[in-house]
Structure 1
Amino acid sequence: MTFPLSGVRVQLSRRSTLIALLSATLAGGALSGALAHAAEDWPSKAIKVIVPYTPGGATDTVTRTVMDKLSTRLGQNIIIENKPGANSTLGAAQAAKADPDGYTFLAMLPAYVINTHLYKLAYSPSQLVPVVHMADLPLFLFVAKDLPVNSMKELVEYGRKNPDKLTYASSGTGSSAHLTGADFALQAKLKMTHVAYKGSAPILTDLLSGRVSMVFDPVLVPMQYVKQDKLKVVAFTGKKRWPDDPDVPTMEEVGFPGFVTGSWAGLLAPAGTPKPIIDRMAKEISEIVHEPDVTKKFTDAGFLPAGGTPAEFAELMRSDSERYAKIIKEAQITVN
């Protein structure tokens, strides 16, 4: 008698399993159908773009310039929400946990890939996916006026003769300026002290007064002081010389082959956001950044327009992650 009963249990168990699988399949199909329908009607309401930095910074400037144009193209309001804090991880965590319905995006700098090597995050990088690379932000190496150097050669010679006297500033541990400075110290075989600040303004104040030796920084503000003979500039991290300052040599030209780096601004979305929405965002933004008036705004502020596909942006993030991980390891960078 036990065998038939056992058989009944097996049959019931199999039947329950089949029902569960069928229910899951139907639910998954319903979800896929809902997302597909949402993508067809998108956008039907305002879109939110989280900027994990304070207003007026590089990411904020790029994002607002692009989203102003995109709002007109899409026929919907785009709301910029500044969510600074914890080296951009607060804003990233908020975006990672948002519904993947095409109405929340995250604007980000290289800190996004750097943070994975330095911090215990409140989100997983797999919760966000790349959308588009909006702009590049190459850096210049500015030095204090009173530092007795006028070229990269003189800077390296001075640093080797005066170990531990050189300091370099950045807007915080793990920022692209920090890791660029650390990479320079490694390649030049210099002992330099990193000084972390909480913003660009105090960096400039201390650089002008000579309390810090140098900084890798965008062109916009410091170059004004170079032209007033209050700062000096010795190199540029771009592949080619900056058009408005052609006398400044690239890092490669002054003896650092392959030293082409800088910051960038890109857009990400919660994982699961419908592909047609991501593809349309990438297409629209890639066209916007190359519109003449946008390109002029970018270059005036020290940016270079980028654009491209989600896959191309994903590759940039991957290669940067590998490069920064190597610098962090070799320079033994940690956070408290």
Structure 2
Amino acid sequence: MSIKTRATRAARMAAILIAGLAIGQGASAAEWPTKPIKVIVPYTPGGSTDTVSRVVFEKVSQSLGQPIIIENKPGANSTLGVGVAARSAPDGYTFVSVLAAYSANMSLYSKLSYKPSDLVPVAQMAELPLFLFASKRLPVKTVGELVAYGRKNPDALTFGSSGVGSSAHLTGERLAMESKLKMTHVPYNGSAPILPALVSGEVSIAFDPLLVPMPHVKSGKINVLAVASAKRWPGEPQIPTMEESGFPGFVMSSWTGLLAPAGTPQPVVDRMAKAIAAATTSAEVSKKLTELGFVPVSDTPEAFRKLIERDTARYAEIVKAGKISLD
């Protein structure tokens, strides 16, 4: 072990001990926070994670009585900002918002600047259902018809995504695996270019959140075949789930949640989790998130940990089968 590595670990252990002494046991958690809190968003402003974070933490800030500063640190499929958070002092004043890509990155990269044990789950904030959209140039209106068409035309199908390693990409790969269809992946730089690609027929299908594409479904420019969530979307109950469409267990919704540096005192983690749950279940925040296509979630650190572990294993299987890498 190098002198630099030993010094870094020693500094981190010292920070953990100082945080523990400062916050102490559960009874003194009521004293936290005494200054502004920083939430790192490892994506650009205006994206899903940024939007949810700003909506939720505006309400959380009110309940905790301290400003919450959103700091965007995009790069390397979110690993840049997550790494900064992982190396931050575990004093209850730095957190990081992540998407389901956090779980996928464990398999997409052979080496990261952090380990899963460097961060602890705080709470899931929202679920982001992914819908399966299809170009009108494709003569299909159901998932069954899509599979039948793909088998008759083995080189005809393409699927778009917001980038290699994104939830949309890995969900498309899973569909290809389970349906045994040959589909060519077409990655784009973010979600924005996917819609015109579907409308023009540049790509056959794409998994994407509901908000932006749905008006084009209503106007007849594209079709929606299913939603990859456990339940139908309340606002569009006529859209079947992937499970109902012949793919048992096909639940691949994305999500947003909050992590803290390992060593953050548990009373602080628990209080932040409760503040988030109170925010997402409030009428104001719930309405905003639903209008944006999200499902508000109220859960515990333990429930969020199980979700991360489940998706990490699920994405690892897809990444291995598809030989996908971001190195």
- Which segments of 5 or more consecutive residues in structure 2 lack a partner in the other structure? 1-13
Instruction: Supply the distance in 1 between the matched residues of 2:80 and 2:141 (Cα, whole angstroms).
Output: 41
The offset of 1:335, in angstroms, is: 2.9
* Structure 1 pair 155–31 and aligned structure 2 pair: CA distance change class (3 A): closer
Q: Secondary structure of the residue that 1:122 maps to in structure 2?
A: coil
Identify if the C-alpha distance between structure 1 residues 30 and 91 changes in structure 2 by more than 3 Å, giving closer, same or farther: closer
- Shift of residue 28, structure 1, vs aligned partner: 8.8
- Alignment partner for residue 261 of structure 2, among 255, 266, 270? 270
How far apart are the structure 1 equivalents of 2:323 and 2:153?
A: 22
In 2 relative to 1, CA 158–280 (structure 1 residues): closer, same or farther, beyond 3 Å? same
- Is 1:286 aligned with 2:254? no
Shift of the 161–79 alpha-carbon distance from structure 1 to 2, 3 Å rule, reads same
Q: Where do residues 1-336 of structure 1 align in structure 2 (5 Å cutoff)?
A: 32-36=20-24, 39=29, 41-119=31-109, 120-336=111-327
Deviation, 1:164, is 2.5
Structure 1 residues 295, 41: closer, same or farther in 2, change over 3 A?
A: same
SS in 2 for 1:200: coil
Give the TM-score normalised by structure 1: 0.89
Deviations 1:166-215, CA, capped at 9 Å, x for gaps:
11111111111111110011111100011111111111121111111111
What does the per-residue CA deviation read over 1:49-100, in whole Å, with 9 as the maximum and x for residues that have no partner? 0111111111111111110001111111111011111100111011111111
What is the match of residue 4 of structure 1? Answer: none
- For the residue of structure 1 that corresponds to 2:193, the secondary structure is helix
**1:30–1:102 Cα change, 3 Å:** closer
Judging changes above 3 Å, is the alpha-carbon distance between structure 1 residues 73 and 27 closer, same or farther for their aligned structure 2 residues? Answer: closer
Of structures 1 and 2, the one scoring higher in RCO (CA 8 A, sep 6+) is 2
Displacement of 1:27 after TM fit? Answer: 11
RMSD value, Cα: 1.8
Runs of 4+ in 1 over 4 A off after TM superposition: 26-31, 37-40
Give unpaired runs (5+ residues) of structure 1: 1-25
Distance 2:125 2:17 in 1: 34
Q: 1:213 to 1:28 in 2, by over 3 A?
A: closer
> Could you say which structure has the larger radius of gyration?
1
CA distance in 1, matches of 2:266, 2:156: 52
Aligned identity (percent) is 59
Distance apart, 1:29 and its partner CA: 7.0
Q: Supply the distance in 2 between the matched residues of 1:274 and 1:220 (Cα, whole angstroms).
A: 38
The aligned length equals: 311
Give the TM-score, by structure 2 length: 0.91
Aligned-residue offset at 1:33:
2.2
